[in-house]
Amino acid sequence: MDFEDSPEEASYRGHVKAWLAEHAPRHEVPEDRALTENDFMEFARTWQASKAAAGFVGIMWPTTVGGQGGTPIQHIIFHQEEEQYRLPTVPFQVGVGMCLPTLFTHGAAEVAQRYVPPAVRGEEIWCQLFSEPAAGSDLAAVRTRAIRDGEAWVVNGQKIWTSYAHAADFGIVLVRTDPSVPKHKGLTMFYLDMRSPGIEVRPIKTLLGDAEFNEVFFTDVRIPDSQRLGEIGEGWKVSLTTLMFERLAVGGRPAQSPDLRSLLQLSRSLSGGDAIRDSSVAETLARFYVADEGMALTRLRSTTAVSRGQVPGPEASIGKLVMAKTLQDMCGYALEMLEDGGLSDAEDSPARMFKFWYLWSAGLRIAGGTDEVLRNVIAERVLGLPAEDRPDRNTPFNQLKA
């Protein structure tokens, strides 16, 4: 494992750091006031446009599709440095991070030419319509049905948990085109205009009171066959491209979330500064420190693999699993330490931040693979333990019992 950047990586990091130091601070999300959703989106679009103009979007994509032709390690370096600021990156994570690579990998050159540049500049938003009420961890179980009608497909069904569908202009959607074959074989991927007749987007309000994700209903939605990504029945393979890019898009600690320094600061401020001297507090903080260091080193292992031209392996799942749980545990512990158990809603109370991230990290433990599913991946693909029994793998989808 390499702890140091190579000379080229160090030079690229220096260039990124200098650019961010000059541009990022004025795009940071203000800490002292809540933004309306429209204001937040405006902040996000402006930051995206500024990054795009400087060549920091699509860093590792081919130049032929509007990327920078850089290396995966440059992509990682930029994101490591960007994370140091409180920047509004979330609305573009799924679209730019996952949908666009799927679009240009499996779509025609003209499709990439039309759709990549405006999305890169933050002018058009994309969403990923994969999960359904009965297909999340078991994504290949999607039931949304597409039936061929001449040069188009007619789609009926329901998607759920679709981040930013309410703001999205376009989406990629995984549908079942052939229920008579086993579940992984009868799927097809399309891209579509989110304003197509027959699409209804219903926001879902979360514990935090916001509505970042949605239910999306399809009633006789017509998608031209020319908007198919990949071959008919090859949707599972196409979705693996999206999920591979998800590994790069999800995994790091979210910008703005509290870390061990925030917890140390809190414990130094409580009980007249004595909380930190309590041995049980010190022991708990030490446990979080060990988890943090383990994550940093595991991340370095993945980064080293990427730096040597290898693909990040399933061990990248370890980072996301530990990060999301540690974040939630840290915030929960901070709330326990506060005298009122974190009930205060006062503007200047540290409880506000820890409460927000305690609730938010619950979603992080689900998105991009739940804790249990990641443990399965680690058990089977990292540790080589026997695989889970998957009796439905070879049965035609329409013969499976619900």
Ligand X SMILES: Cc1cc2nc3c(=O)[nH]c(=O)nc-3n(C[C@H](O)[C@H](O)[C@H](O)COP(=O)(O)OP(=O)(O)OC[C@H]3O[C@@H](n4cnc5c(N)ncnc54)[C@H](O)[C@@H]3O)c2cc1C
Residues that bind ligand X (CB under 6 A): 94, 127-128, 130-131, 136-137, 161-163, 213, 363, 366-367, 370, 372-373, 376, 388
Instruction: Say if residues 354 and 345 touch (Cβ distance below 8 Å).
Output: no
Look-up of token digits 């020319």: 226
Q: How far is the CB of 114 from ligand X (least distance, A)?
A: 22
Q: How far is the CB of 135 from ligand X (least distance, A)?
A: 7
Question: How many helices, marked H, and strands, marked E, lie in the chain?
Answer: 12, 8
DSSP state of 297: H
Give the torsion sign (CA, 285, 291, 297, 302).
Answer: negative
Q: How far is the CB of 290 from ligand X (least distance, A)?
A: 25
Q: How far is the CB of 391 from ligand X (least distance, A)?
A: 12
Within 167-255, residue ranges assigned H as helices are: 235-249
The residue number whose beta carbon is nearest to ligand X equals: 136
Q: How far is the CB of 251 from ligand X (least distance, A)?
A: 14
Cα distances (Å, whole numbers) of residue 361 to 104, 134, 215, 251, 326: 32, 23, 21, 12, 9
Judged by CB, which is closer to ligand X: 91, or 350? 91
Judged by CB, which is closer to ligand X: 32, or 388? 388
233: left (phi over 0), alpha (psi -120 to 50) or beta: left
Judged by CB, which is closer to ligand X: 201, or 373? 373
Reduced DSSP (H G I as helix, E B as strand, rest coil) percent helix, strand, coil of the chain, to 5: 50, 15, 35
Judged by CB, which is closer to ligand X: 347, or 388? 388
Q: How far is the CB of 128 from ligand X (least distance, A)?
A: 4
Judged by CB, which is closer to ligand X: 172, or 305? 172
Judged by CB, which is closer to ligand X: 136, or 179? 136
